[in-house]
A = this chain, B = another copy of it.
């Protein structure tokens, strides 16, 4: 019993990494089994075929990511701007995560761009609730004149900003210097995006205090 779970577990872990790096089709069962220190036939033994292993590994990656960075449960009187900041930070933590679990996010992005029929349910069960939560938060922060459609666009904009740093990471890394890229991390980005959003909504000015940016203002002597 225990040995079953061990190899099955190693297989899921290794499959996640390999699928994330190579994509479903390009990943080979042989590479996965080798990475999992398992025999070639193990995949078919435990999962039937390559595709079911893929589905399982995607689900696994997602749940791991979610429990690694859970959404905080706010008290009823938590102000919406705090909730916005928490939401963005949580999202960024899940997306950028530590490089150790990097593949989990990568794997989900692949799935988002070319959804497998089996995994499309992820959107309904997981993404849509989060997206509606974000819309609700923005709605509370917005003037009454904002339409639902506008709120949706704002929500997409926030998500897009978060995702960009992960999805186009190689490009970002090449565009900014190494030292600056190292500072692209969840807390700083969440602060920027939150302030940026609040400023656009007319809630406050967009000014990042020096202690956060670690840089002097332009033109300062």
Residues of A within 8 A of B (CB): 22-23, 25-26, 109, 112-115, 120, 123-124, 127-128, 131, 144-150, 152-154, 156-157, 159-165, 167-172, 174-176, 180, 183, 189, 192-193, 196-197, 199-202, 205-208, 213, 215-219
Contact = CB atoms under 8 A, between A and B. Distances in A.
Given A164-B159, A175-B131, A200-B199, A219 B144 contact: yes
A114 B106 CA distance: 11
B148 A218 contact: yes
Main SS class of interface, A: helix
A193 B205 CA distance: 18
A26 to B, nearest CB: 4
A112 B173 CA distance: 11
Contacts of A218: 144-148
B165 A161 contact: no
A40 B180 CA distance: 48
